Amino acid sequence: MSRVLTTCIYCGVGCNLYLRVRNGRVVGVLPSRSGPGEGKLCIKGWCAHEFVHSPQRLTKPLIRDSRGFNEVGWDEAIKLVAGRFLAIKEQYGSNSLAVLSSAKCTNEENYVLQKFTRAVLGTNNIDHCARLCHASTIVGLGTAFGSGAMTNSIAEIEEADVIFVIGSNTTEQHPLIARRILRAIRERGTKLIVADPRSIDLADFAEIYLQHKLGTDVSLINGMMNLILSEDLQDSEFIERRTRNFEAVKKVVERVPPEHAEKITGVPAEKISKAARLYAKAKRASIVYSMGITQHTTGTDNVLALANLAMMTGNVGKKGTGVNPLRGHNNVQGACDVGALPNVFPGYQGVTDCQAREKMQRVWNIAELDDKVGLTQLEMINSAYAGDLKALYVVGENPVVSHPDTGHVRESLRTLEFLVVQDIFLSETAKLANVVLPAASFAEKDGTFTSTERRVQRIRKAIEPIGHSKEDWRITGEIAERMGYKGLIYSSAEEIMDEIASVTPIYGGISWDRLEDSGLQWPCWDRSHPGTQFLHEAEFFSGLGNFVPVDFKPPAEEPDEEYPMMLTTGRLSFLFHTSTMTAKSPTLNIQVPEGYVEINPEDAKRLGIGEGERVRVKSRRGEIEIKPFVTPIVPQGTIFIPFHFVESPANALTNPAPDPKSKIPELKVCAVKVERVEQVASL
């Protein structure tokens, strides 16, 4: 038995673990005391090995013909993919092709994919699942602070006197961070404020629980800031010395006293006032949020409102404070950092910036790079549906389940002339592909992930790739070489990281030999830099912090006579994203084997719904049948569905309406109706 130190494949906490290997097979895991997990793992981490040797793993390339998929050799598959990409590029132009990269792939693989998109396909049409989770964080915090990342470190959460958790079901989504929050309450007397439409587990430990209506976050936060100003609790010295444009925010906030916010949010004014005082009077206050804040048509406004609150009280740029988005995937932060976005090169250097393009052209040995911002994920789907996008290369993503309005997604993918999917399992998206390429799992390759706290950490190869599968960076490099570009042939993933460091200022001092212990947090400017525990200490990335006024805007859909209830979606601790991996884990899959809808007891009584029955949930986009779970966790008029389940896909219902600034879809709220299946059948 041997053991290999690596980093967990699931959420963005970045827990370290050992893969236990016997006779070339991964047979178990052990937690490592290094890293933010402190020798602990959540249930998914303990089962991180179970999917690796699943009999459902893809082991050979597949090519579809009129009878279905056929196994072929790598040479035939690569030749077909490269030839079709070249033909489509020649016939329709570079912008008729696009790439979906993956937050489950390594930094090195995401770098290769974005380089392939730009240097070989000749387009900036590359995006990944950050568009569906934290695009509004990147835009919002980037606008306010000059950097769209978690400002502080995971360990610092325990140094806060007050923690404000909003839009994050932390015990379900990031259990090892929730553990720190609960330890801070128990051991330091830290006070907790929780704001969430559902009565989540953390609400039981909160000093103040604010159960606001779906989509009213801006009004709630503005109401808190109004109270802070009216009682002169703001940090005037910090505002004067470190920020700009405060008067514009003050003018908006003055119109939203807690009594006005109560009318919109449903939260009593005295609770809003109490929460504001508790947060503002704390020596150190930390804001923690996740997709309950970001996945709205007002997601960027929500993030900006939180940034305003933190700057108003001076809770940025010091330990135990900050605005701290929790990333849902193991490497969603890293995929953004290394340029798997349509508007930036690695290190958030704009594709429209002439100097940045010249730099990349020189390093990549390309005469000219596209200077236009590419398509986002949703724009790719819509462009395919319209017939403009002809080919899509999907790596490690499953948009048929993860995207809103999944019926439209399926139709769009079927419209493509050529769809290539590169994955470890035959996902729902892969089943629609012309070519499927088998990738290696995290246990079968070397590389790095970047966690939610900006920590770059190693993953290490424990076993050889299963069957004929290959690392994603090797597959993409072979396609590029067949298309005539030699600049994506590397000897190792370490060589790719060296190139990342050479073109990405915030990763300038990152190298594998420096990551052997517990990794490094960016920015790490050069080989002598120790990394950065928390951001914005002396000044913001943008120099001065930028206050941005935001007014309340309602969700894109609100209840009406036809669709009288509101749906929100989320995650469960036993499952991950579209369940591509966790559904192959016997231990995890048995915990919650099918989807369900949470419904308030009063709504269930009104609709005549009982436990053990089936209900039909309908929206303007689709409908699903699902079993009800009657619970007071959700308020009247609201239902909740976990989005992991292919058989009852919540995203068949959700709204693709985008935030105009970040283009993230409104996955967190839409109008629906609920009916008993028996009632419908008897009509």
Which residue segments constitute the domains of the chain, with CATH numbers given?
Answer: 2-46 (2.20.25.90), 80-131+330-413+455-463+474-510 (3.40.50.740), 135-325 (3.40.228.10), 565-682 (2.40.40.20)
Q: Is the pLDDT of residue 683 over 50?
A: no
Q: What is the pLDDT of residues 199-227, one digit of tens each?
A: 999 999 999 999 999 999 999 999 999 99
Determine the Cα–Cα distance for residues 206 and 182; give it in Å rounded to an integer: 10
Q: Is the dihedral of CA 357, 457, 452, 444 positive or negative?
A: positive
Q: How confident is the model at residue 53 (pLDDT cuts 50, 70, 90)?
A: very high
Percent of the chain whose pLDDT exceeds 70: 99
Residue 472's pLDDT is what? 98
* Region 665-676 average pLDDT: 96
Q: What is the pLDDT of residues 419-459, one digit of tens each?
A: 999 999 999 999 999 999 999 999 999 999 999 999 999 99
Q: What pLDDT shows up at residue 644? A: 87
Q: Is 202 helix (H, G, I), strand (E, B) or coil?
A: helix
Tell me how far apart the alpha carbons of residues 659 and 299 are, in angstroms, rounded to a whole number.
Answer: 6
Reply yes or no on whether the pLDDT at 517 is more than 90. Answer: no
Least confident of 10-24, 579-593, 626-640: 579-593
Q: Which helix (H) or strand (E) holds 5?
A: strand 2-7
The DSSP output letter for 117 is I
Whether 641 contacts 633, CB under 8 Å: no
Q: Is the pLDDT score of 525 beyond 50? A: yes
d(CA 251, CA 140): 20
Mean of pLDDT values over 520-530: 97
Band (122; pLDDT cuts 50, 70, 90): very high
pLDDT at 660 over 90: yes
At a CB cut-off of 8 Å and minimum separation 6, what does 65 contact?
none
**Full-model pTM:** 0.96
CB atoms within 10 A of CB 38: 17
CA dist 526 and 531 (Å) reads: 9
End-to-end Cα separation, the chain, in angstroms:
63
Burial (CB < 10 A; 0-12, 13-18, 19+), residue 560, is: exposed
| Cβ contact 103:270 at 8 Å | no
Burial classification of residue 155, based on how many CB atoms lie within 10 Å of its CB (0-12 exposed, 13-18 middle, 19 or more buried): middle
**Rounded distance between C-alpha atoms, residue 543 and residue 242, angstroms:** 8
Task: For the beta carbon of residue 490, count every other beta carbon within 10 angstroms.
Answer: 17
Find how far residue 145's CA is from the centre of its chain.
20
Q: How many helices (H) and strands (E) does the chain have?
A: 24, 30
As a whole number, mean pLDDT of residues 582-611 equals: 91
Report, as an integer, the average pLDDT of 517-529. Answer: 95
> pLDDT higher for 576 or 431?
431
Give the Cα separation of 201 and 184 in Å (integer). Answer: 16
Q: What is the mean pLDDT of residues 612-619?
A: 93
Residue 681: pLDDT band (50, 70, 90) is very low
Q: Are 157 and 184 in contact (CB under 8 A)?
A: yes
What is the distance, to the nearest Å, from the Cα of residue 260 to the centroid of all Cα atoms in its chain? 33
The span from the CA of 303 to the CA of 324, in Å, is 10
Angle in degrees, 0-180, between the axes of helices 493-503 and 354-364, rounded to the nearest 10: 150
* pLDDT value at 588 more than 50: yes
Residue 643 has pLDDT above 90, yes or no: no
